[in-house]
Structure 1
Amino acid sequence: MFQDPGVGVFQAWDYVVFAALFVISSGIGVFFAIKERTKNTSKEFLVGGKQMTCVPVALSLTASFMSAVTVLGTPSDVYRFGGSFIIFSIAYTMMVTLTAELFLPIFYRSGITSTYEYLELRFSKAVRMAATLIYIVQTILYTGVVVYAPALALNQVTGFNLWGSIFATGIVCTFYCTLGGLKAVVWSDVFQMVVMLMGFFTVLIQGTIKNGGPVAVWKAAQEGSRLNVFDFDPDPLRRHTFWTISIGGTFTWLGIYGVNQSTIQRCISCKSEKQAKLALYLNLLGLLVILVCAVFSGLVMYTFYAKCDPWTAGFVSAPDQIMAYFVMDILGHMPGLPGLFVACAFSGTLSTVAASINALATVTYEDFIKYWFKNLSERAGTWISKGLCIVFGVACTTMAVAASYMGGIVQAALSIHGMCGGPMLGLFSLGILFPWTNWKGAAGGLLAGITLSFWAGIGGFVYPAPASKMMPLHLNTSGCELRNSSDILTTLAPTMAPERPALADSWYSMSYLYYSAVGWLATVIAGLVITFLTGPTRGGDIKPVLIRPVCNLLCFWSEEYRKACWCGVEHDAADMDLSGDYISTDILAMRREEPTEISKKDGKDSGDDLPGHIAEDRSYTNAGFTKDTDL
């Protein structure tokens, strides 16, 4: 790759600032390993003893899902395609609202640790295991992308070995996650969130000054069509329009947030449901702040390179390197600031990878290890959980190698989540919204959703959409000296495209943001059809705490219709909470700390008669049913 001699390089202070990120993150892990050494239980390690408060959890959620994919990929996307990315604010708002009001209450009140425990309570063990395996594959794939992204940035601006950077990231994440558990992950995320904001603000302030002020940036972006945000073309083959981002983005991010173990695990670690909901809404504010920073960074970057695009000129080899190149261009002469930005990119990755490792260890321990080894001691469970963190740290790090072949990091990351997250969202929707769904419908729907979304996603990867559907905006090189004419001819010369099948310009060219919506629709429709063909589940077999029927939204005005809309699920007016939610007799009894027939076994309140119910420390009395719980 040709490097523009005018761009600065890393200096000693940059390395110091960058190294401080790793040292402090590791130190947080060591601190919690020492502080919590007397609380040697798997529950304490995996969910922080369910004593977290809303602010650190909110910051942790924001840091984890606004990863290096956002820090590097979103500004590059805005630079090339325009500011339509800001419409994701609608998707984020819808996603957080639905997660807080629909999915979180079900998970929190169920007293679960792994999200997929719900699927056993609602359907069967087989459905739970299948969903867990899909989640593991999805998370390892996604984490590989977000490990690769900042390593690429570091390679671009410092010349560090790409794979050495990847392994350094994986080792540090695995280290503090294994030592300190969820508390170390959350508080490291808080620190890393601060670093991300500092990095963005530094770039925005210095870039705006270099461009002559915010008015000049706005004018240049307008002249370059970067502010043409709202495109209401309903064509589903267009990459980014108002509809693909607002509708497709909502489904994509709801699959990431609403039923994702990494999100729900931190929410249920809060001391009450009210705190968990507040964490989600505070997190929305954080998501919007980071989104605005990323979009405006892209506009500032475009203004700076309006006359000399470094990608077309050959100064960088891939679009995702432009942001790192821009940082070195405007901050290279200021020791420490380039290091701060690279630390910003790595902060997003460290938080995402650590959260993923912790979530993967949790679902594997809860869904597989405890199923195979039923009499594990707490000490053994803690050591196994730590061992799983190491295993998944290695898996996620090595997966980053494949990410180098996946193209643009934003599209690659969201495509992975769409292909897997949509069917998973559909599966939980079948359980929560449609009480009559049986386990056969759930399993069949999941298989149909996965098949359809992967068909579209893999087809789109093999046969990319035509340039007319991608709609990249014009990039200018009139103001810079290109490498040489032969290189440019090679770069710009048309290549022989492989023969395209009939579906290449229709089904395979669908916007990647619709993968999740397609998976959700296929899962729900197939699940309902199979359910009615094989016989719907009887209402008396479902505990009301596990569902929130969609038909209830339409019939709330009449008690008679309200009962009918619960589709036969047993409930009684005496068991209605003040909020209008129905709670089973067993749950009410547990709240009053009274034993019931369902929980009596050999003279002990074990709860083993509930399918997949978690006895011991995960009884419903510890599931957030306190006076301040927002039921």
Structure 2
Amino acid sequence: MGLGTLDVVMLVLSLLASAAVGVYFSVLGRNSTSVEYLLGGRTMKPLPLALSLMVGTVSAITIMGSAGEMYAYGTQLWLMDLGILLALFIIAKYFIPIMYPLELISLYQYIEKRFKSKWLRQATAVLQLVGGYLFIGFLLFPPSLALQSMMGLSFFVNIIIIGVSCTLYSTFGGVKAVVYADTLQAVVMIVGVLAIVIQGAVNMGGIENVLDIAYHGDRLEFFNMSLNPYQRHSFWLCVIYGFFFTLSNNAVNQSQVQRYFSTGSVRNAQCSVSTQLNSMTALLWEDFLKVLPVFRDWSEIKVGYLQKLIVFLSGVLGIVLGLAVSQFGKSFFTTVLAINGALTGPLIGLFIVALFLPWVPAKGATIGFILAIAFNGVMVIGQQSIPKAPYLPLSKEGCPATSIANVTANVTEIEDVATTIVTTLAPTLAPTLENITTTVTPSPVPSEGIADEWLFGLSYCLNPLWGSMLCILLSLIASAITGYNTPEDVEEKLVDPGMWRIFQRSLKLQIKESFYKTILRRRPRGDHNARDTSDETGTRDPLNNLMDTKDTKDNEIDGNGVV
């Protein structure tokens, strides 16, 4: 399998067009300030940002991974889109209206403002930096592997070509170049995917025939309503996974949040909910470098040049990591899942605590955050000991033996990427060349004899849920031990308005009032701020009248010296 002349021309043109976008915005904003470079002056339009957000989420990993996953395990994963829609509503309704008016560059500035903890802000930024730089390497791996199969170029050459192209337009053009290059790439991506679907359907005799083949191959599955948490996918597991996947990408991820920080208003940001390099630069500058004495007297233009240098060096680091990721071999895909599972859930939980639980102070949030990360780390490591579920039958009927040989030659290197890349390029995987049959049916996975399967055997779709729930629960428990916040400890604009109204009065006072009103059915003595128990007509509860009368008589008796 290889690319024709037209394919190569289109590929080169797309790379050159992306680089040209970077050059254009580099010339246009050669003296840009920090805000202009990192946030586009906060004047970006919703449509290109929406397309950029899509490209930031739907990467090569997603396109190849989703197709391979459904080919290997069925279409149940499609239902994660329902969770995505719910998460987008939550982000637009609750996250953006609080985050956007703060005029942040680094998303984790919010964590410092809310908890008054610079350490906690830097801890979240470090996690994002580590995950972000590794993710750059992961992003370079699949397309480079695909180009190696289709063009015959060295894998290392492909990584350098793609990495250099992205680095150059990100470095010189800033976030505007990234967004508009993403817009161009979104068009290419949509047209390319449609072309593959249409041509594939034509070659297979139409959509009806494709669906018929998928049905008889047990690929079509949409509403598995089982509540069993140990299966790979079900309706509930996929909805949960889609919900937390979107929160992790669009609510607590610097790369994506930086895009809607670039719009001109909250309304524009709410209309859409390779910025990876610029986002890493924003984190490094705002959370670590800006506070250093050496940079205090630097002009905005000089800072802009420094940020371009950071983006360039980040791109170089990403290329190096892309080359390093190739050495993971068969553990590549599981490594991506391990990092995502270990970091996203606790981070989502921390932001939920910050937005909706104003009672929790920095100490409680830190304890919950760290313990949740530790638990999720143990989970994703332990899950690697659990055998993978067997693939659905993988047909290679009609595929030439040479294709099988080419794919099988690298099977030990890309075993875990097989469902994400190789099966979409040439679904011809076979354990050995000598034993070629029409259908590959893997041996069933043993269901017993695996230590700790009760915990590590749980579906990977639940990993971010455990991290979020533990962070929230442990933060509350730790705060109950170390002490809660009072309204004087938190800024109102940093908390969800509905929760702030509940929080306005101290927790101790609310418990005291609840005890008097619901148990004793009376007002606390000496509490002039407590609400009267009279109803809207001004009529007081007779029981309260009786109790107040008794109190008055008792006081009179005490005043006369009668015991």
Instruction: Please give the range of the TM-score, normalised by the shorter of the 2 chains.
Output: 0.7 to 0.9
Counterpart CA distance in 2 for 1:248 and 1:495 is 25
Which residue does the alignment assign to 1:517? 465
**SS at the partner of 2:433?**
helix
Question: Secondary structure of 1:199's match?
Answer: helix
- Give CA deviations for 1:600-619 in whole Å, capped at 9, x if unaligned: xxxxxxxxxxxxxxxxxxxx
Distance 2:203 2:2 in 1: 18
Cα deviation, 1:542-585, whole Å, max 9, x if unaligned, reads 11110116xx37xxxxxxxx84444549xxxxxxxxxxxxxxxx
Cα shift at 1:494: 7.7
Shift of 1:25: 0.3
1:237–1:412 CA distance, 2 compared to 1 (3 A): farther
Match of 2:33 in 1: 41
Cα distance in 2 for residues equivalent to 1:406 and 1:122 = 42
Please show how residues 125-204 of structure 1 align to structure 2 within 5 Å: 125-204=118-197
Q: Is the 8 A contact 2:358 2:503 kept in 1?
A: no
- Is residue 252–residue 513 contact of structure 1 (8 Å, CA) maintained in 2? no
Deviations 1:187-242 (A, max 9, x none): 00000000001110110111111111111112111111111222122222222111
Query: Is 1:437 the equivalent of 2:350?
Result: no
Aligned to 1:205: 198
Match of 2:321 in 1: 399
> Which secondary structure state, in structure 2, belongs to the residue aligned with residue 114 of structure 1?
coil
Query: Are the counterparts in 2 of residues 437 and 537 from structure 1 also a CA contact under 8 Å?
Result: yes
Q: Is the Cα–Cα contact under 8 Å of residues 84 and 245 in structure 2 kept in the other structure?
A: no
Matches of 1:240 and 1:158, distance apart in 2: 35
| TM-score normalised per structure 2 | 0.79
Matched-pair contact (CA < 8 Å) for 1:423–1:449: yes
1:487 has 2:487 as partner:
no
Give me the whole-angstrom Cα distance separating, in 1, the residues matched to 2:213 and 2:152: 32
Distance 1:117 1:496 in 2: 47
TM-score, normalization by structure 1: 0.71
Aligned equivalents of 2:263, 2:490: Cα separation in 1: 27
* Alpha-carbon distance change, 500 to 112 in structure 1, aligned in 2, over 3 angstroms: farther
Aligned to 1:502: 451
Equivalent of residue 19 in structure 2, options 15, 26, 36: 26
Match of 2:494 in 1: 546
Distance 2:387 2:392 in 1: 14
* Rounded Cα–Cα distance in structure 1 between residues aligned with 2:454 and 2:254: 34
**Counterpart residue identity of residue 212, structure 1:** G
Q: Which has the higher contact order (CA 8 A, sep 6+)?
A: 1
Corresponding residue for residue 372 of structure 1 = 292
Contact 2:390/2:442 (8 A) holds in 1: no
The amino acid that maps onto 1:391 is L
Aligned residue among 229, 235, 239 for 2:222: 229
Distance verdict in 2 for CA 1:104–1:563, change over 3 Å: closer
CA contact (8 A) 1:80 1:472 kept: yes
Work out the CA distance in 2 between the residues paired with 1:77 and 1:567: 51
Distance 1:183 1:471 in 2: 45
Q: Which moved more, 1:165-174 or 1:19-28?
A: 165-174
SS of the residue corresponding to residue 502 of structure 1 reads: coil
| Equivalent position to 1:466, from 375, 387, 391 | 387
1:508 Cα deviation (Å)? 2.2
In structure 1, how many angstroms separate the alpha carbons of the residues matched to 2:463 and 2:152? 36
Q: Which amino acid aligns with 1:148?
A: F
Indicate if the aligned counterparts of 1:361 and 1:388 stay in contact, CA closer than 8 A: yes
SS state at 2:271 partner: helix
Residue equivalent to 2:483 = 535
Amino acid across the alignment from 1:419: A
Is the CA contact 2:359–2:503 (under 8 Å) kept in the aligned structure 1? no
Contact 2:22 2:177 in 1 (8 A): yes
Q: In the alignment, is the contact (CA less than 8 A) between 1:69 and 1:410 conserved in 2? A: no
Aligned-pair CA distance for 1:399? 1.8
Alignment RMSD, CA only?
Answer: 2.5
Task: Give the secondary structure class of the aligned counterpart of 1:160.
Answer: coil
Assess, with a 3 A threshold, how the Cα gap between structure 1 residues 190 and 94 changes in structure 2: closer, same or farther.
same
2:178–2:275 CA contact under 8 A, matched in 1: yes
Contact 1:73 / 1:410 at 8 angstroms: preserved in 2?
no
Matches within 5 A, 1:105-144: 105-123=97-115, 124-144=117-137
Is the alpha carbon distance of 1:74 and 1:155 closer, same or farther for their aligned partners in structure 2, counting shifts above 3 Å? same
- Note the C-alpha offset of 1:412: 4.9
Q: For 1:219-618, what aligned pairs fall within 5 Å after superposition? A: 219-280=212-273, 354-373=274-293, 374-404=296-326, 405=328, 407=330, 412-461=335-384, 463=385, 465-467=386-388, 470-477=389-396, 487-488=433-434, 502-503=451-452, 505-548=453-496, 552=498, 563-568=501-506
The alpha-carbon deviation at position 453 of structure 1 amounts to 0.9
Bigger radius of gyration among the two: 2
**1:71 maps to which residue?**
63
**Change over 3 Å in CA distance of 1:209–1:563 after alignment to 2:** closer
Match of 1:56 in 2: 48
